[in-house]
Amino acid sequence: MTIRRNHYEVAFEEYLRFLRTPYVAVDEKRRALFGQSSLKSLDFIVHPKDQNNLLVDIKGRRYPSGRTSSENSSSKSAGHKWENWATDDDISSMLQWNTVFGSEFRAILIFAYHILDERWLTDFEDWFVYRENT
């Protein structure tokens, strides 16, 4: 059993359980060795019904991040919003995992957000609440 401390990964795992989607949580204690190099561990192997299997790396962040609206103004435009914070290592490792697992798998990054202010929920069609947080 993999013990997860990252709340974004824990929330995603609960989301998979909510959907009743089969998955395997990957033990991330050590980087995987592949040939002469090491690969960043992925977080989950997911088997959605009627789709390719997924190799998943979770990237979590608060939404919005950066300056809060209370520090700047009352507008919803304050702070950072949608950003790509994937590293070169994230991308190259996921591409390598895709090669290792083959064409029946698809490597993806999932950007999970902890919504800090309910007024931002109107920006989304759907969200998942975990431990009273969205």
pLDDT at 67: 56
Question: Are the beta carbons of 69 and 79 closer than 8 angstroms?
Answer: yes
Residue 105 has pLDDT above 90, yes or no: yes
Q: Which CATH number covers residue 14?
A: 3.40.1350
Looking at the domain assignment, is residue 130 inside a domain?
no
In a domain, 59, yes or no: yes
The answer to the question of residue 1 being in a domain is no
Total number of domains in the chain: 1
Query: Residue 77 domain-assigned?
Result: yes
Strand, helix or coil for residue 75: coil
Instruction: Kindly report the pTM of this predicted structure.
Output: 0.78
Structure tokens at 82: 């949608």
* pLDDT tens per residue, range 38-57: 888 899 999 999 999 999 99
Give the separation between CA 115 and CA 61, rounded to whole angstroms: 9
Cβ burial 95-126 (10 Å sphere, 16+ → b, else e): ebbbeeeeeebbbebbebbebbeeebeeeeee
Please indicate, yes or no, if residue 129 is contained in any of the structural domains: no
- Domain membership flag for residue 56: yes
In a domain, residue 133? The reply is no
Which residue range(s) make up the domain with 50?
A: 7-123
Domain for residue 78, yes or no? yes
